Amino acid sequence: MKTDASTSKKTKAAEELVGGLLGNGQTLKQYRDAIQDRTKTTGFYNGLERLDLRESDPIRYEKLFSKLRGGLVHSRETAKKIAASPIVEQEGELCFTLYNAAGDCVLTSTGIIIHVGTMGAAIKYMIENDWESNPGINPGDMFTNNDCSIGNVHPCDIATIVPIFIQGKLVGWVGGVTHVIDTGSITPGSMSTGQVQRFGDGFMITCRKTGVNDKPLRDWLHESQRAVRTPKYWILDEKTRIAGCHMIRTLVEEVVAEEGLEAYEKFAFEVIEEGRRGLISRLKAMTIPGKYRKAAFVDVPYAHPDVQTPNAFAKIDTIMHQPVEIDIRKDGSWRLDFEGASRWGWHSYNAHQVAFTSGIWVMMTQTLVPTQRINDGAYYGTEFRLPKGTWMNPDDRRTGHAYAWHFLVSGWSAMWRALSHSYFSRGYLEEVNSGNANTSNWLQGGGINQDGEIHAVNSFEASSCGTGAGAIKDGLNHAAAIWNPEGDMGDIEIWEMAEPLVYLGRSAKCNSGGYGKYRGGTGFETLRMVWNAQDWTMFFMGNGYMNSDWGMMGGYPSATGYRFEAHNTGLKERITYGDTLPLGADTNPAEAGYENHINVRAKVKRDKQCMTTEDCYENYDLYLNYLRGGPGFGDPLEREPEAIARDLNNNLLLPEYARKVHGAVIEQDDKGVWSVDVKKTIANRAEHRKARLARALPTREWMKKERDRILIGRAITAVKQMYATSFALSPKFLGEFKTFWNLPEDWTLNEEDLDIPTYGSKYREDLSKLPDVHTVVLVEE
């Protein structure tokens, strides 16, 4: 009997396989290769020079669009309520995307749409590595992925991917992703520091089959929940993803039942070509052809004793560097070239090529293409060049990615500034954005929480940083993140449920917005006191020693970060005895105001070291969560006097800087209200301008001085290391550097001459070198 049953099962399976998953005899790889070929040869996605369905029946096409998109958005809204994590439920860090059978994105829900490409890359990986024969792709299967070596941004974005079968054939995929609160990495929180390789980044899942017949497998449930610190959040997040994917699968089944499979499949390709054309027409409408060049930098200060790494070779200060050249052509096509970017490093801030190219759309949809019609068409409309070996396209399978955002935010912000130059030139002043905040600090940590459970925390107040100033108005205060225009700091009473950290203040961060004619939006700050926790740890993340964005047309960068933490504060006694307490804003960090309201023997850390690793905190210890501001636009000497007075009266600007930077002559009345004397200010500003001229040098003279510094090597080691890694990867970049500074032919800068560890600078092994692994390359390298 047993044999019979298994034989008949085999026969049935064999019958089903006659036409393959696609019912046309092709493997998924053959199918995808053919699409790629047609796209490459014709320049149109899948060779679709004409959009038959759309041209012959535009109304039906729009109806299909409306049904699918409406359903995707709706499924996200419904599924999100299942989650327990404030990151998902309150911050909306989830997204559902529909793919065609080749893994190209058809449409996506609202949410963090960076995952349009990351989940697509996972599907493509399964296709390229013949998942259909082993482990098999069947109706009712679920696959889980968070592998950063094949496209995921960071391990805490967990994707559930479900194949959609209709009439016995695979017609597409639906993916759902949530940002989980803990990934079981070496330290608690979703985006940890300290580990410098993939092996400490946390639980890593490579397109694993984790469910059959619409049910998660038990081994997966057991293994995954004990692999992380917060199993309750984990399991509800998984239920959220599964519920949403299944709702969308049902939606597709309904649409096919109404419109027929043929129309659906046509639509699923035409809409991608339409997306490609949509991007091109936006570029034509909004920009001016030409080459735009920008650069971005961020600090990785790992030499500091408060950064504990497992490896001596990682204990160095480095800087990440990303030059970008955007070439917009007259036909609306464009190319983004990152030649000269620095090499990946021993930290957790590296990014996979897909994280970089897919993530770009979460930024572009806020400005260039603010439309619901976003899909992989935009990717096909863009030429990317990410040199292999750089931080955004590593050539070694050991790289850490847990906080890839550390530099992605600055890297994309540079592109937004480049586009803003184009908008400005074209006259779209209202679209100009002079840059973006470095979306930090990230308050993370863990231990035993107020309920006595093992816990991890990951505040998402960073979703509400200041935005860059525009060409006609100030940036918005504490409003958004470059990865989420729909930012929200959330309610204190909700965060206090999730974190054993009592708030002692929440205020807009004075002076954090970059100065300018229009200032950047200010960030904000919250002061937290550890409360009812045991064995508690926390750490800091963000830029500290360097600006990570620069402003435009004379506008200043936003303020950099700093950290404040205090231990042995004596607050318990001060509360009991009614002494003064540190409450509210750290208005002027230079005055160290909090220190006047805590124990004089308290151990305070107040410095620019904004990257730290897990450190211990006792109850009554303090932690300042400072969320950055945005950069400014235009000369601060042109700022309207009323705006200066308003900022002074709302505690958004320190009087000293109103005088120094804005050249304002200000006074305060007996009620403490500030005003600006307009006449005196005009005169004072004239003096400022004179002083500027007196200080100025002709560019050639200044360059000569700088050249001399280069020749004698007068720069800190971190700067030299940064350039050395770029030069090693790109002789072209080295050549340009030498030409620009008019350096001798034999001038060069080598990492090995710098007297710092150079581990990894010569010997590297790419993931593609592993046996039986076919990586998916989606950019020019």
| Residues from 17 through 56 that contact another protein (CB under 8 A) | 55
Span 106-145, contacts to another protein by CB under 8 A: 110
232 binds another protein (CB under 8 A): yes
- Residue 507 phi/psi, 5-degree rounding, is -145, 155
Pairwise CA distance, residues 544 & 560, whole Å: 5
- Pick from 21, 35, 48, 84 the residue near another protein by CB under 8 A: 84
485 binds another protein (CB under 8 A): yes
Structure tokens at 114: 């960076």
- We find the least distance from the C-beta atom of residue 354 to another protein, in angstroms, to be 21
DSSP state of 383: E
CB closer to another protein, 521 vs 636: 521
- Pick from 430, 667, 706, 708 the residue near another protein by CB under 8 A: 430
Taking CB under 8 A as the binding criterion, the range among 237-245, 335-343, 723-731, 756-764 that sits at the site for another protein is: 237-245
86 binds another protein (CB under 8 A): yes
- Pick from 7, 425, 650, 750 the residue near another protein by CB under 8 A: 650
Pairwise CA distance, residues 376 & 116, whole Å: 7
409 binds another protein (CB under 8 A): no
CB closer to another protein, 72 vs 300: 72
Span 154-193, contacts to another protein by CB under 8 A: none
- We find the least distance from the C-beta atom of residue 499 to another protein, in angstroms, to be 9
Pairwise CA distance, residues 766 & 524, whole Å: 41
- Pick from 493, 745, 755, 772 the residue near another protein by CB under 8 A: 493
Taking CB under 8 A as the binding criterion, the range among 31-39, 185-193, 305-313, 359-367 that sits at the site for another protein is: 359-367
Structure tokens at 52: 């038959």
User: Distances from the Cα of 590 to the Cαs of 423, 626, 628, in angstroms?
Assistant: 38, 15, 17
- Pick from 464, 512, 547, 612 the residue near another protein by CB under 8 A: 464
Taking CB under 8 A as the binding criterion, the range among 230-238, 547-555, 686-694, 699-707 that sits at the site for another protein is: 230-238
Taking CB under 8 A as the binding criterion, the range among 132-140, 351-359, 484-492, 703-711 that sits at the site for another protein is: 484-492
- Pick from 302, 346, 524, 723 the residue near another protein by CB under 8 A: 524
Pairwise CA distance, residues 313 & 756, whole Å: 8
- We find the least distance from the C-beta atom of residue 486 to another protein, in angstroms, to be 6
Query: Which distant-in-sequence residues (6+ apart) come within 8 Å of 727 by Cβ?
Result: 733, 734, 737, 748, 749
Pairwise CA distance, residues 353 & 349, whole Å: 13
CB closer to another protein, 202 vs 470: 470
- We find the least distance from the C-beta atom of residue 218 to another protein, in angstroms, to be 14
CB closer to another protein, 492 vs 716: 492
How many residues are there in the chain?
Answer: 781
- Pick from 228, 527, 530, 559 the residue near another protein by CB under 8 A: 527
Beta bridge partners of 301: 317
418 binds another protein (CB under 8 A): no
- We find the least distance from the C-beta atom of residue 75 to another protein, in angstroms, to be 9
Pair 721, 751: CB distance under 8 Å: yes
Size of residue set near another protein by CB under 8 A: 97
- Pick from 74, 169, 315, 738 the residue near another protein by CB under 8 A: 74
CB closer to another protein, 418 vs 508: 508
Pair 108, 369: CB distance under 8 Å: no
Q: Binding mask 504-523 vs another protein (x if CB under 8 A, - otherwise)? A: xxxxx---------------
- Pick from 304, 315, 335, 373 the residue near another protein by CB under 8 A: 373
- Pick from 139, 554, 584, 593 the residue near another protein by CB under 8 A: 584
**Distance from the Cα of residue 351 to its chain's centroid:** 10
3-class DSSP state for residue 434?
coil
- Pick from 431, 565, 621, 751 the residue near another protein by CB under 8 A: 431
Question: What is the 3-class SS of 21-72, one letter each residue?
Answer: CCCCCCCHHHHHHHHHHHHHHHCCHHHCCCCHHHHHCHHHHHHHHHHHHHHH
Pairwise CA distance, residues 272 & 739, whole Å: 42
CB closer to another protein, 378 vs 749: 378
587 binds another protein (CB under 8 A): no
- Pick from 53, 126, 419, 476 the residue near another protein by CB under 8 A: 476
Tell how strand 215-216 and strand 290-301 pair up.
unpaired
Residue 633: closest CA among 510, 471, 512: 471
- Pick from 369, 408, 414, 665 the residue near another protein by CB under 8 A: 369
Pairwise CA distance, residues 280 & 117, whole Å: 19
Pairwise CA distance, residues 316 & 310, whole Å: 13
Pairwise CA distance, residues 615 & 444, whole Å: 11
Pair 400, 197: CB distance under 8 Å: yes
375 binds another protein (CB under 8 A): no
Pairwise CA distance, residues 675 & 662, whole Å: 14
- Pick from 70, 260, 310, 735 the residue near another protein by CB under 8 A: 70
CB closer to another protein, 20 vs 584: 584
- We find the least distance from the C-beta atom of residue 5 to another protein, in angstroms, to be 28
Residue 102: closest CA among 18, 171, 167, 148: 171
Pairwise CA distance, residues 429 & 434, whole Å: 11
Pairwise CA distance, residues 781 & 769, whole Å: 16
- We find the least distance from the C-beta atom of residue 570 to another protein, in angstroms, to be 14
Structure tokens at 369: 């293409």
Taking CB under 8 A as the binding criterion, the range among 173-181, 371-379, 703-711, 729-737 that sits at the site for another protein is: 371-379
Span 202-221, contacts to another protein by CB under 8 A: 214-215
Quick one: which H or E segment has residue 447? strand 444-448
Q: Binding mask 238-267 vs another protein (x if CB under 8 A, - otherwise)? A: -xx-xx--x---------------------
- Pick from 34, 186, 221, 581 the residue near another protein by CB under 8 A: 581
CB closer to another protein, 90 vs 190: 90
- Pick from 31, 45, 65, 302 the residue near another protein by CB under 8 A: 65
Structure tokens at 392: 């955004």
Specify the amino acid at residue 773.
Answer: V
Strands (E), 365-475: 382-385, 444-448, 454-458
282 binds another protein (CB under 8 A): yes
Taking CB under 8 A as the binding criterion, the range among 29-37, 153-161, 645-653, 711-719 that sits at the site for another protein is: 645-653
Pair 411, 362: CB distance under 8 Å: no
Pair 629, 545: CB distance under 8 Å: no
- We find the least distance from the C-beta atom of residue 532 to another protein, in angstroms, to be 7
- We find the least distance from the C-beta atom of residue 65 to another protein, in angstroms, to be 7
- Pick from 470, 514, 589, 641 the residue near another protein by CB under 8 A: 470
Pairwise CA distance, residues 508 & 120, whole Å: 39
Beta bridge partners of 563: 607
Tell how strand 334-337 and strand 382-385 pair up.
parallel
CB closer to another protein, 285 vs 711: 285
Pair 333, 381: CB distance under 8 Å: yes
- We find the least distance from the C-beta atom of residue 629 to another protein, in angstroms, to be 13
235 binds another protein (CB under 8 A): yes
User: Distances from the Cα of 632 to the Cαs of 186, 273, 430, 516, in angstroms?
Assistant: 38, 38, 15, 5
611 binds another protein (CB under 8 A): no
Span 658-697, contacts to another protein by CB under 8 A: 673
* Burial classification of residue 498, based on how many CB atoms lie within 10 Å of its CB (0-12 exposed, 13-18 middle, 19 or more buried): buried
CB closer to another protein, 492 vs 697: 492
